[in-house]
């Protein structure tokens, strides 16, 4: 008895202390016993449960139905496996219980069905959380924009996300079970292996490297790969491999790098890259003693073409020129474009100066060939400056400066040629710079003066007009001829205001002569025009104002334009000349035969006369070629309804030949040298009769 009592007490104590809920129900589900833990677990008093039916007591429909089933199974003698049940507590919260049923209806001590229930709500919600988290991570991994793979110790993939598969151009299934290394671009596999090996030395660190990966389309991709080991309780699980696609970033970076050192129009190296290569070449030359040569090439009058034809054509021209230059030099020479129409060539290993001259000559010849632009042909020439460093001691800056200086000398001595730098060139360049600066000052100080050279009507032998020629009376250097400063005046822009001043003075002079004789009001005045002036938008208006101010009949003004200025069949040039022509002025082509152009422009431009260049007149009657050319030009003029003027006539023979050919006008030292306006006053008064009719006296 004592033993039974002790056992009961022990049992009761266990029940009282247990956090599990123990219920005893009968075959209908009526609750006979409930352990006190119901009050702590679901806060329902034991008293209110006793006698009520468990089917109703749980408060959750799903569990009620389950309970009905359990009772059915028990009543039909079956065993019931443990199950989960949800129960509502006094506060309305749902708890999940794990229930174990023991049918002890036949046990005389119990006489009921025992249900042991343990609250597993916390465990349950933790499980749900884990599941949710797992799903979340999986979807995050799967949908990550960056490629992710989980990789075994041996490098074999067992998970790859969509982004990685796409990056590699494969299906995710194909990525799995492949070694990561096999996707790496063959040239980068060594680097990858090094990276993989380093994982063993620093197992907890993340290693990162940018590598190329193969792609089925044949073009490799750049990827930033990072690998980190994942551990669970210090035990290695797998490697997490991330690959970020950096192909685009790479190509932008590469492009930027390329752009920084190349000229976008021609794709040639720019100044930056050139100077770099020049530096390398110089230090190499110090060792080899072979010397370095730099050719500085500048297209002649490119600005005229660019301004008149437009920038698109200008660009095309530069591209063609760059190709021709490239084709004229050796493949190892560096050709760069410094911007505008400046090209620079670096030649190494040239010991013989003649070789450099040959290259320069080849360049000039190749550039001289006509260039098709739109539906017209353009002729360009170039001026080349050459500088050499034999010791390798020079700096890139000084060599480039010297080549540039020599190039300017090539321009000054008539363009379309090459000049080698020497110290004299340098001194001259410095002087030139001073001249350039001094020019604006000279203009404001009235240092530009005019001389006039008579033009003779060959039939009558009388004066028909003058050509206005400018010169510079420099207070320090004295008389400076136009050949020495017109080029610079064009480059500096001084020619624009200077040209207007020249026109105005020339007009004032012929207006002054008006009353001198019966013929004086018919005298013509030839005025030279620079291309730079024609491209000035206000030019026509300025000319109109000057003619109005000086009251000169526009028909007496003959503008001289060189062939080269007209060389481009430019709509804008034609338009400008047409507008001038509408004022009533005349045009003549100066230095005819020396420029490069097709004859078709003669039809398009409103030209009235051709002025045969002195170079051809020179050999007239002596040299068969010159005679043939002058003959041809005079016939051409007449065939086109134009007049012919010969300039630079120095001998009676030349004059006689010109007369025979029917050339209308002549100008030259034979008749008179250019001189100041007032020296011609008497000649004008005399109707030009003094000049000579038949018996020239020099």
Q: Which residues pair with 296 in a beta bridge?
A: 344, 385
The total of other beta-carbon atoms located within 10 Å of residue 685's CB is 15
Q: Does 669 bind ligand C2E (CB under 6 A)?
A: yes
The tokens of 357 are what? 């001259």
Residue 437 C-beta: closest distance to ligand C2E, Å: 20
Contact window for Mg ion (CB under 5 A) among 39-47, 131-139, 229-237, 526-534: 526-534
Show the binding pattern over residues 466-485: x = contacts ligand C2E (CB under 6 A), - = does not: --xxx----------xxx--
Q: What are phi and psi of 335, to 5 degrees?
A: -110, 130
Radius of gyration of the chain (CA): 51
Cross-sheet strand order for the sheet of 418-420: 334-339, 342-348, 292-299, 382-389, 418-420
Residue 652 and residue 670 in contact, taking contact as beta carbons nearer than 8 Å: yes
How far, in Å, CA of 347 to CA of 558, rounded?
48
Handedness of CA 228, 230, 231, 235 (dihedral sign): negative
- Of 298, 588, 590, 657, the residue at the interface with ligand C2E (CB under 6 A) is 590
Q: Rounded to whole angstroms, how far apart are CA atoms 427 and 433?
A: 10
Among positions 549-568, residues that touch ligand C2E (CB under 6 A) are: 560
Among positions 650, 681, 686, 687, the unique one binding ligand C2E when judged by CB under 6 A: 650
Q: Does 668 bind ligand C2E (CB under 6 A)?
A: yes
Residues 573-592, one symbol each (x = binds Mg ion by CB under 5 A, - = not), give -----------------xx-
Maximum Cα–Cα distance across the chain = 176
Instruction: Determine how many CB atoms are found less than 10 A away from the CB of residue 107.
Output: 11
Q: Which is nearer to Mg ion, 275 or 677 (CB)?
A: 677
Q: What is the distance between the alpha carbons of residues 344 and 399, in angstroms, rounded to a whole number?
A: 11
Stretch of 144-152, 271-279, 524-532, 564-572 contacting Mg ion, by CB under 5 A: 524-532
599 to 618: interface string for ligand C2E, x by CB under 6 A = ---------------x----
Nearer to ligand C2E, 425 or 562 (CB): 562
Nearer to ligand C2E, 405 or 533 (CB): 533
Give the dihedral sign, CA 165/169/171/177: negative
How far from 580 is each of 66, 290, 585, CA to CA, in Å? 110, 58, 7
If binding is defined by CB under 6 A, does position 414 make contact with ligand C2E? no
Contact 670, 655 (CB under 8 A): yes
- Three-class DSSP category at 450: strand
Q: Does 654 sit near ligand C2E (CB under 6 A)?
A: no
Q: Which is nearer to Mg ion, 536 or 590 (CB)?
A: 590
Cβ distance to ligand C2E smaller for residue 449 or 512: 449
Please choose, out of 49-57, 78-86, 540-548, 644-652, the segment that lies near ligand C2E by the rule CB under 6 A.
Answer: 644-652
Q: How far apart are CA 601 and CA 179, in angstroms?
A: 73
**Alpha helix stretches (DSSP H) within 415-455:** 423-444
Exactly one of 528, 597, 637, 651 binds Mg ion (CB under 5 A); that residue is: 528
Tokens 């353009």 belong to residue = 378
Is residue 591 involved in binding ligand C2E (CB under 6 A)? yes
Shortest CB 671 distance to ligand C2E, Å: 8
User: Applying CB under 5 A, which of residues 490, 560, 657, 664 lies at the interface with Mg ion?
Assistant: 560
Residues that bind ligand C2E (CB under 6 A): 453, 468-470, 481-483, 486, 499, 502, 528-530, 560, 590-591, 614, 647-650, 667-669, 674
Residues that bind Mg ion (CB under 5 A): 528, 560, 590-591
């Amino acid at each position: 008895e004592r033993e039974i009592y002790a056992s009961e007490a022990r049992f009761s104590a266990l029940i009282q202390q247990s956090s599990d809920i123990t219920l005893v129900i009968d075959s209908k589900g009526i609750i006979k016993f409930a352990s006190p833990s119901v009050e702590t677990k679901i806060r329902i008093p034991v008293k209110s449960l006793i006698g009520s039916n468990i089917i109703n007591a749980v408060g959750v429909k799903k569990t009620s139905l389950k309970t009905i089933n359990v009772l059915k199974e028990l009543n039909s003698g079956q065993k019931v496996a443990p199950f989960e049940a949800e129960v509502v507590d006094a506060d309305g919260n749902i708890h999940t219980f794990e229930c174990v049923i023991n049918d002890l209806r036949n046990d005389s001590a119990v006489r009921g069905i025992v249900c042991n229930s343990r609250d597993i709500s916390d465990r349950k919600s933790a499980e749900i959380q884990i599941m949710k988290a797992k799903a979340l991570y999986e979807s995050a991994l799967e949908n990550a924009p960056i490629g992710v793979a989980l990789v075994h110790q041996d490098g074999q993939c067992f998970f790859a996300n969509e982004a990685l598969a796409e990056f590699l151009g494969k299906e995710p299934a194909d990525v799995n079970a492949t070694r990561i290394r096999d996707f790496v671009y063959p040239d980068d596999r060594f680097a990858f292996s090094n990276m993989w090996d380093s994982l063993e030395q620093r197992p907890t660190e993340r290693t990162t490297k940018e590598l190329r990966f193969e792609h089925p389309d044949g073009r490799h991709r750049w990827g930033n790969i990072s690998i980190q080991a994942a551990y669970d309780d210090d035990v290695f699980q797998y490697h997490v491999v991330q690959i970020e696609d950096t192909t685009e970033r790479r190509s932008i970076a590469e492009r930027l790098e390329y752009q920084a050192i190349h000229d976008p129009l021609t794709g040639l190296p720019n100044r930056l890259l050139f100077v770099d290569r020049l530096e390398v070449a110089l230090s190499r030359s110090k060792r080899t003693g072979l010397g370095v040569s730099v050719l500085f090439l500048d297209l002649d009058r490119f600005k005229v073409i660019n301004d008149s034809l437009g920038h698109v054509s200008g660009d095309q021209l530069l591209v063609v020129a760059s190709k021709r230059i490239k084709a004229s030099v050796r493949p190892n020479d560096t050709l760069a474009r410094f911007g505008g129409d400046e090209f620079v060539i670096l030649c190494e290993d040239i010991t013989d100066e003649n070789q450099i001259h040959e290259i320069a000559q080849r360049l000039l010849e190749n550039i001289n060939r006509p260039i098709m632009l739109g539906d017209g042909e353009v002729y360009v020439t170039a001026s080349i400056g050459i500088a050499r460093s034999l010791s390798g001691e020079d700096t890139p800056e000084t060599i480039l400066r010297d080549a540039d200086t020599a190039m300017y000398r090539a321009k000054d001595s008539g363009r379309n040629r090459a000049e080698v730098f020497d110290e004299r060139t340098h001194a001259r360049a410095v002087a030139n710079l001073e001249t350039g600066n001094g020019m604006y000052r000279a203009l404001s100080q009235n240092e530009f003066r005019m001389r006039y050279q008579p033009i003779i009507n060959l039939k009558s032998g009388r004066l028909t007009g003058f050509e206005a020629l400018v010169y510079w009376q420099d207070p320090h250097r004295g008389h400076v001829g136009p050949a020495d400063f017109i080029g610079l005046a064009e480059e500096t822009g001084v020619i624009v205001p200077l040209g207007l001043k020249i026109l105005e003075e020339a007009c004032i002079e012929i207006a002054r002569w008006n009353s001198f004789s019966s013929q004086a009001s018919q005298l013509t005045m030839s005025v030279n025009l620079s291309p730079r002036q024609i491209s000035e938008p206000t030019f026509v208006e300025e000319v109109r104002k000057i003619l109005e101010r000086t009251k000169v009949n526009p028909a007496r003004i003959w503008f001289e334009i060189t062939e080269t200025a007209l060389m481009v069949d430019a709509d804008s040039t034609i338009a400008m000349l047409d507008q001038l022509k509408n004022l009533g002025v005349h045009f003549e082509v100066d230095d005819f035969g020396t420029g490069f152009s097709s004859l078709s422009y003669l039809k398009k431009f409103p030209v009235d006369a051709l002025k045969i260049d002195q170079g051809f007149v020179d050999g007239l009657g002596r040299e068969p070629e010159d005679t043939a050319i002058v003959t041809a030009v005079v016939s051409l003029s007449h065939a086109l309804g134009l007049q012919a003027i010969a300039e630079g006539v120095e001998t009676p023979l030349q004059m006689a030949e010109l007369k025979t050919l029917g050339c209308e006008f002549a100008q030259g030292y034979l008749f008179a040298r250019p001189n100041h306006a007032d020296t011609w006053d008497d000649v004008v008064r005399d109707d030009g009769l003094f000049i000579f009719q038949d018996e020239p006296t020099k």
